[in-house]
Chains A and B, each alone.
Chain A
Amino acid sequence: MSALAAALRKDLLLQWRTRAQVVAIFVFGASALLLFSFAIGPHAAALRQHAAGFLWLALLLSSTLALAESFQSEMEHRALEGLLLLPADARALYYGKAIANALQLTLLGVALVPVMVVLYDAGTARLPALLGIIVLGSAGLSAPGTLYAAMTAQARARQTLLPLLLFPLVVPVLLAAVKATSLLILGDPMGQIRSWAVLLVSFNAIYWSLCGLLFERVVED
Chain B
Amino acid sequence: MHLTPRRGTGRTSAVTGLAVEAEGLGRRYGRRWALRDVSLAIPVGSVVMLAGRNGSGKSTLLRVLATAIRADLGTARVALHDVRTERREVRKRVALLAHHSHHYEALTPRENLAIAASFLGREGDRPRLLALLGRVGLADRADDPVSTLSAGMRKRLALARVLLQDAAVLFLDEPYGELDPPGFHLLDRVIGELRAGGATVIVATHLLERGRALCDRALVLEEGRLVWSGPAAEVPEDAAAGGPTS
Contacts and interface: CB of A to CB of B under 8 A. Distances in A.
A95 B244 CA distance: 43
Contacts of A82: 100, 102-103, 116, 161
A17 B144 CA distance: 12
A85 B101 CA distance: 12
A10 B165 CA distance: 18
Interface in A12-40: 13-14, 17-18
B102 A78 contact: yes
A3 B119 contact: yes
Contacts of B223: none
A76 B111 contact: no
A92 to B, nearest CB: 8
B41 interface: no
Contacts of B98: 78, 81
A87 interface: yes
B70 A221 contact: yes
Contact of A77 (B68, B70, B105): B105
A201 to B, nearest CB: 31
Contact of A73 (B67, B94, B101, B106): B106
Nearest to A92: B119
B105 A86 contact: no
Given A17-B107, A78-B102, A79-B103, A85 B68 contact: yes
A83 to B, nearest CB: 6
B69 interface: yes
B113 to A, nearest CB: 11
Given A82-B116, A83-B119, A13 B105 contact: no
Contact of B88 (A7, A18, A78, A87): A87
B106 A18 contact: yes
A6 interface: yes
Contacts of A17: 106-107, 145
Contact of B103 (A77, A85, A220, A221): A77
Contact of B105 (A5, A10, A73, A83): A73
A195 B91 CA distance: 47
Nearest to A7: B119
A81 B105 contact: no
B7 to A, nearest CB: 12
A1 to B, nearest CB: 12
Interface in B38-60: none
A220 B68 CA distance: 8
B41 to A, nearest CB: 23
B118 A6 contact: yes
A79 B118 contact: no
A115 interface: no
Given A3-B119, A73-B105, A81 B68 contact: yes
Interface of B: 66-70, 87-88, 91-92, 94-96, 98, 100-107, 111, 115-116, 118-121, 145, 154, 161, 165
28 contacts: A2-B118, A6-B115, A9-B118, A10-B118, A13-B111, A14-B107, A17-B106, A17-B107, A17-B145, A73-B106, A76-B105, A77-B101, A77-B103, A77-B105, A77-B154, A78-B98, A78-B102, A79-B104, A81-B100, A82-B100, A82-B116, A85-B102, A86-B120, A86-B165, A87-B92, A87-B119, A220-B87, A221-B70
Closest 3 A-B residue pairs measured CB to CB?
A82-B102, A87-B91, A6-B118
